[in-house]
Amino acid sequence: MERGVYAVGRPELSRDGQMMAAVLACGPEAWISHETGGELLRVRRREPGPMEVSVPVGTTRRRPGIRIHRRERHDEHTVTERDGIPVTTVPALMVDMAPRWPRAHLEAAINQADALDLLDPEAMRRALDAFVGQPGVKVVRDLLDGATFLLTDSELERRFLSLVRSAGLSDPQTQRYVSSHRVDFVWPELGLVVETDSLRYHRTPFQQRKDVERDQAHRARGLVPVRFTQYQVRRKREHVLAGLADGARMAEAARDLRRTG
């Protein structure tokens, strides 16, 4: 136990108990943060090293075995609670750890927070406004753009048609009903259907199931469905061009097979 902190009737403390003891040892406004915060929020596995705790600026307390961070802010944007233990919020955690974690680890932690329904990517993107000026904000914001980016219908159509022409395809029909579903782009003469998804509306299991059912309905009619995210349409030009070329080849092969069959 920490000096001045006692566990009555508990010969051994759980990991959560150790975290609570660290918070109590660091003062009434202390909270678990950084690497240890990721562990407590269950978005990061336990890593070797000292337990990390944040305290308001002006707190002079030091504890062996605890890495203390002194912070300007102590409010609802930075502190929440998990299992009765004060802990950093998910957005504050991501901003704090963005300079320390590799991008893949940061993305995995954000995905885990989303899977645990702690905070979805769109809400997290908005929450970053509370941390403007901190070094990790831009890294987290750039990473989240791929999950929250949304084009208007006119912007999407303009950008996508530019890619279509670069791929050497004719202009598609837009917003038509195919296989009883409204689709974004379709080439009836090819049998090619393209949907451009915003992850904002395609991240739930329900919507993902509906997407699978739509694609299955298209395939049952001999059509080739292809999906891109709107972020890819804007930022991943070569990926979209390659996907369009592959989709067109598969659609032509399927059309030829129907003709000879």
For residue 151, pLDDT over 80 is answered with no
**What average pLDDT score do residues 81-86 get?**
96
CB 247 within 8 A of CB 226: yes
pLDDT of residue 122: 79
Domain definitions of the chain by residue range: 15-147, 153-260
Burial class (CB in 10 A: 0-12, 13-18, 19+), 255: middle
pTM for this structure? 0.65
**What average pLDDT score do residues 123-134 get?**
92
Which amino acid is it at 249?
R
Give 143-146's long-range contacts (Cβ < 8 A, gap of 24+): 143/103, 143/106, 143/107, 143/110, 144/110, 145/231, 146/199, 146/229, 146/231, 146/235
Q: Of 145-149, 159-163, 249-253, which gets the smallest average pLDDT?
A: 145-149
- Looking at the chain, the number of H-run helices and the number of E-run strands are 10, 9
CATH fold of 153-260 reads Endonuclease; Chain A (3.40.960)
Q: Of 41-55, 105-119, 123-137, 217-231, which gets the smallest average pLDDT?
A: 105-119
pLDDT category at 9 given cuts 50, 70, 90 is very low
* Average predicted confidence (pLDDT) for the chain: 88
pLDDT category at 3 given cuts 50, 70, 90 is low
